[in-house]
Each structure stands twice: as structure tokens, then as C-alpha cells.
Amino acid sequence: MDFEFINSLMMVAGRILVGYISFAIVVFVIAYYILFDPRATTAGKFIFRFMLSLVGVILLSFVGTFISPATSGYNRSIPPPDVFSWITLLRIIVYGYVAFAITSLAVLLAIYRWWPTRIKNKNLAFVEPRSTKDIPIIRNFE
């Protein structure tokens, strides 16, 4: 049986999926910023930051693939001499932002659990609750 064909097929499928995921994350970040106010709630702000950090990871993948492709056989902890110095700086910035976004979400979950009064909630004063007397099922139980 020819497994080389299956391997090639899976490589193509994987690249298509990564392309779709990259496109979906970028569209999500743009749509989230346009359609919603990420600063309205604390959770919305931190979710937006996390998704934005994933856009940074996509950018790193693009840079690593097309601008400075890795050469085989070198020590991955030390960049090869032909790698631009700004790529190393970009990695530190993106990885630091990802770490910040994930840590912020974890801290937010802890605050939600133990100090919920510190969370900024969107003011929903314009929403008026409807009367339950208009609902036949509830009226029959009164």
C-alpha cells in the first residue's frame, strides 16, 4: 500500500485547515472590533486580547514560512546566522503578548470566582423586563 500518497494528502489537508483557521481568526478579530465594543466588559476585553495574540502567532507563522524559512539541521535554541534580528524581537513580543493574554484570562476567571464585585459589567439599564402576566403558562400558576 502506498502511504506516501496518504501522507501528502494529509499535509495538504493540514495546510488548508491552518489557512482556514488563520482566516477565521483574523475575520473574528475584525468583526468583534467592528460589531462589538471590546472595552465594554472586562471579559470582552480579555477575549479580544487573546484572539489578537493568536493573530500574532499567525503573523509569526507567515514570517517563518515566507520571509525567513528555517534551515534543517541547526540547533533550534540558537537562530541561524541568516535570520533577521527583528524576527527574534518579533517572537519575543508575540510570545510575551500571548503569555499576557492567557495569564489575564486565568486571573479573570479567578476574580470571577472569588471577587466578582471587581468585574466591570456593561450597563444594561435600557433593557426593561417584560411582565410575566402576559405569558399564559405563568398566569395559570398564579
51 CB-near residues (< 8 Å, 6+ apart): 25, 28, 29, 32
Give the Cα separation of 26 and 33 in Å (integer). 11
The pLDDT tens digits of the residues spanning 37-64 come to: 888 887 888 899 999 999 999 988 888 7
26 CB-near residues (< 8 Å, 6+ apart): 55, 58
Give the Cα separation of 50 and 103 in Å (integer). 10
**pTM tops 0.85:** no
CB atoms within 10 A of CB 22: 17
